[in-house]
Amino acid sequence: MNPKQSMSSTAPNPPDRRPGSDRSAVRVEGLGKDFRHPWTRRIKTAVHEVSFDVPEGGVFGLLGPNGAGKTTTLRVLLGLLPATRGRAFLLGRPAGPPESRQDVGFLPENPYFYDHLTALEFLEFSGELAGMSRAAARAQAHELIERVGLAHAARTRMRKYSKGMLQRAGLAHALMGRPRLLFLDEPMSGLDPIGRREVVDLIRELKAQGTTVVFSSHILHDVEVLCDRVAILRAGRLLKLGTLDALLEGGGAGAEIVVRSRGVFALPPEFLGVEIENVAGRVRLVLDDAARASALVAWLAGRGHEVISLTPERRSLEDLFMDMFQGAHDVGGDPERAADAPSTDWRAEA
Amino acid sequence: MSAILAVARGTFREAVRDRVLFLVVGFGVLVLVLSRLLAPIAMGQGDRITVDLGLSTLGLLGIVIVALVGTGLVHKEIERRTIHVVLSRPVGRASYLVGKWAGLAATMGAAVFAMGAILLLVAVAMNGVRAVGPVTQAVVLLALANLVLAALAVLFSSLSTPILSVVYTLALYATGYWTRDLREFAQQMPGAVGGVMRGLSYVIPNLDLFNLRPQVAHMETAPAFHIILAVGYAVAYVAAVLALAVVAFERRELK
Amino acid sequence: MNPGNPAEQRSLRVIGLAVLVFAVAATLVVAQARWASKSLRAAEPLAELSYYPSGTWLGQVAMGDATAWADLMWLRGVQYYGLHRELDNTFTHMAHVFEVITTLDPGFRSAYVFGGTSLCQEGRQFEAGVRLLEKGMRNNPTDWIYPFELGFVHYLGKRNLTRATFDFAQAARQPNAPDYCQRFAAWSGQRAGYTEVSVELWRQVAETTDNAILREKAIEHLRRLLAGTGEERRLEAWVGSLKPLAGAAKSARPASVGQGAS
């Protein structure tokens, strides 16, 4: 599959494309967004200046606490808000005009849809908006309703939907028209653990099909499980950008091993520094260095201990987060000053 | 074009299923029935009263639907962010607004024609076939007036809150039957005041143009050029108002 | 804002196009509105006046706003008068409208006076006019204006000098009645020269009314009464000296009076 080729036949590439951008599904160049209070005319900057690339076919995570500017960035990319500074391209087309949203799907944060429409009608509607014929939209609506597990409520008016059901309907909406680029704003919110699991599977499946997925989250686990690349935002500025591995490198990535206890055991000296903790008939071993984990597991197995779980790097992104945001309180949360701290070389890697 | 139709259909479906609409139409039919009951005490004017009241109710129907459905049309979508669902598709804002208007107009049209059909049957039963022409004309022109009101509702609702939209739309509706008088008053006023009043008389929709009640009262048909003028006026007015809405809405920030 | 952005340029194009559409459509709207107001004089202007429900009922519905409604209907009524004076001099709905107005606001002096005298004279509905004035008298028994106007219409309209004498005398008995009530009672009682008394009556109206239409009517009558008597010049000088009134209706205003009033 080479979407670039099919695209260039329908829409001309912008003249000033730089080398390397051919492979990006999303390109953001110095994008910024100010809001002006309607009466006081005071300017509030939601996004200062953000630049990043999302390569075609990847899963990209926009990460950051509430108010970091994730949602604003997404809305600017989708043309819901005009950019104050900079520019962006979706699948090679300048973001903003309607054409830029061809082949693009979007799941809004906390989606709320039309009360009196059924999910089926809503999806048909969405498909037609995406340019599908009515018949094609109907067929795909049935299919996607099945896919997101709403078949039982397909003909129920959405007024009666729970939050989780709305979230599922929203996902199906985003997928209508089989977009090549998907924006998901907090896709896991409102879902129970089973639902989250299903969404994770769905995103993986989409990735396998070559769909580019950009999603925002403040939940680290989602990002860790899914993303190839991550952008970390705070107070409207990009703090870090890169592959997960690169971001976590040198961050003291550790591991946790849980063993069913067979009495007391002592670790050999090469495992010095491993914390041992007895919890309810189990032993929890915490390493500060994941590299030694497999050796420790082998050692344990050799001694006949039953290893229940090995969780590598489990808290590392969280740690990174904590490290980065620790300063936030000291500077009183002032976005102007707090965000000056990180240097640009953090996002220099690619 | 298909996007406009899709938005229109969605708006229509959403509005038609609102229970409020049934209440409104039900109320209209009730008035029709009640006016028949009044006939015996109206001293020979019973037939006229039924048709008169029926047409007035039809006219009111339009403004009531606008007040209940239309004025929240766009604002509610912005507030609930359902608009993000639409505009994150390859749909321009102008198409969206036109689609919203078309959907609302279709809703109002459906209500007017449903009630108009009943009214026509009643009028024919009372006055014979000679009622067909005048009553049909009157109903069609009322539907045209509703197109104009729907456009205003879209404009106000994309700019302001539902409550203010109701106020604005009602104000224009109330003054809409007075534009001719406003122009006459304007002639008697000194320079600046007269100018403002004359200007207003063109800004306010000339709803009197769509009002054939006097003709219907005498079972007369309106001349063809009246109908043509009304159609032309409605088309131009709707275009102007929607264009204004697009200007205001194109760059609006949808937080 | 962000001119380098291609998205910006496109939205500016959309706005430009919309402005163009607006300009064209707005021009059409104005043109058609003008055309409509010229060519579509409705078959029966202001016919909706006949649908005004009874004042009693309306008063209950209007609750506290009855007088405001009366004001609005008064505007409508005056307009109806002006329109039909220009068109056909028939005032089919006028009696009804003024009946409704005065029920909504029983103290609406101008409505009684204007409605009553207009009905009696141009309206050729003498009975209806008298009924309206008598209603005013019933509702405002101590106001001298109603018996005075009754005398006025009886004197001028029916040359019923006996009734006029009675009415003028009754007006003179009311508190705050101006002196001329007594004077007119005496004149009509003595069967003084009809023209002289008429002139005097109209002069009184022109000088005391605050209603521009009434004044213009009075001046018209005076011109007719004094035509050929050699008094015309004095009349016009007097007309010129009158204090101008606001809101003079154009339709009912002869050019010379317009000059005098401005």
Q: CA C61, C62, C68: angle at the middle one, nearest 5? A: 160
* Cross-chain Cβ contact A96/C8 below 8 Å: yes
pLDDT in tens, A112-168: 788 889 999 999 999 999 999 999 999 999 999 999 989 999 999 998 998 888 989
* Cross-chain Cβ contact A94/C4 below 8 Å: no
All residues of chain C having their beta carbon less than 8 Å from the beta carbon of residue A79 are 7
pLDDT score of B238: 96
Residues of B within an 8 Å Cβ radius of C: 52, 92-94, 179-181, 183-184, 187-188, 201-202, 206, 208-209, 213-215, 217-218, 220, 225-226, 229, 232-233, 236-237, 239-240, 243-244, 246-247, 250-251
pLDDT in tens, A288-319: 777 778 888 888 888 878 888 887 654 556 66
% of chain B surpassing 90 pLDDT: 27
pLDDT of residue B155 exceeding 50 = yes
Q: Model confidence at B231, in pLDDT bands (50, 70, 90)?
A: very high
Residue pointed to by tokens 């078949």: A151
* Cross-chain Cβ contact C5/A94 below 8 Å: yes
Listing DSSP states for B128-153 in one string gives: -GGGHHHHHHHHHHHHHHHHHHHHHH
pLDDT score of A220: 74
pLDDT score of A331: 38
Phi, psi of A277 (to 5 degrees): -140, 130
Distance in angstroms between the alpha carbons of the first and the last residue of chain A: 24
A269 touches chain B (CB under 8 A): no
All residues of chain A having their beta carbon less than 8 Å from the beta carbon of residue B85 are 106, 108, 111, 113, 126, 173
Q: Model confidence at A282, in pLDDT bands (50, 70, 90)?
A: confident
Distance between CA C28 and CA A115 in Å, rounded? 39
> What's the mean per-residue pLDDT of chain C?
77
Over range B223-235, report the average pLDDT: 91
- Among the listed ranges A223-237, B39-53, B149-163, B238-252, which one has the minimum average pLDDT value? B39-53
* Cross-chain Cβ contact C6/A14 below 8 Å: yes
pLDDT score of A252: 53
Over range B52-77, report the average pLDDT: 83
pLDDT in tens, A163-215: 888 989 999 999 999 999 999 998 888 788 888 888 889 999 999 999 999 98
pLDDT score of A342: 38
Residue C197, CA distances (Å) to C71, C170, C187, C192, C231 in order: 34, 18, 7, 7, 15
Residue C217, CA distances (Å) to A60, B225, C116, C164 in order: 86, 38, 14, 21
% of chain C surpassing 90 pLDDT: 10
pLDDT score of C64: 62
Q: Are A226 and A195 in contact (CB under 8 A)?
A: no
pLDDT score of C52: 61
The residues that bridge with A62 in the sheet, in sequence order, are A216, A231
pLDDT score of A193: 85
pLDDT in tens, B6-38: 999 989 988 888 777 787 778 878 877 777 776
Phi, psi of C222 (to 5 degrees): -60, -40
> What's the mean per-residue pLDDT of chain A?
79
- The shortest C-alpha distance from C8 to chain A (Å) reads 8
The closest CB to that of A80, out of B5, B13, B84, belongs to B84
pLDDT score of B41: 53
Q: Per 3-state DSSP, what percentage of chain C is helix, strand, and coil (rounded to 5)?
A: 75, 0, 25
The closest CB to that of C18, out of B52, B183, B247, belongs to B247
Tokens at B12, concatenated: 């229509």
- Among the listed ranges A41-55, A236-250, B197-211, which one has the minimum average pLDDT value? A236-250
pLDDT of residue B39 exceeding 90 = no
Over range B159-171, report the average pLDDT: 86
For residue A125, the chain B residue with the least C-alpha distance is: B6
pLDDT score of B178: 75
| Those residues with Cβ within 8 angstroms of residue B28's Cβ, 6 or more apart along the chain or in another chain | B57, B58, B60, B61, B111, B115
Q: State the 10-residue block means of pLDDT for chain C, 262 residues long.
A: 66 88 90 80 54 62 68 79 79 84 85 90 87 91 90 85 86 85 76 75 80 82 82 83 63 34 30
- Among the listed ranges B73-77, B170-174, C203-207, which one has the minimum average pLDDT value? C203-207
pLDDT in tens, B88-107: 999 999 999 999 999 999 99
For residue B99, the chain A residue with the least C-alpha distance is: A129
Contacts 24+ apart (CB under 8 A), A39-48: A45/A236, A45/A335, A46/A72, A46/A236, A47/A72, A47/A73, A47/A76, A47/A236, A48/A236, A48/A237, A48/A335, A48/A339
| CB-based burial, A154-165: b 16+ in 10 Å, e otherwise | beebbeebeebb
Q: How many CB atoms lie within 10 A of CB A74?
A: 25
B53 touches chain A (CB under 8 A): no
The closest CB to that of B254, out of A80, A98, A106, belongs to A80
Q: Return the partners of chain C (3 or more C-beta pairs < 8 Å).
A: A, B
ipTM of the complex: 0.84
Predicted model pTM = 0.70
pLDDT of residue A95 exceeding 80 = yes
pLDDT score of B48: 64
pLDDT score of C61: 60
- The shortest C-alpha distance from B18 to chain C (Å) reads 30
Tokens at B125, concatenated: 């039963």
- The shortest C-alpha distance from B17 to chain C (Å) reads 32
For residue B15, the chain A residue with the least C-alpha distance is: A116
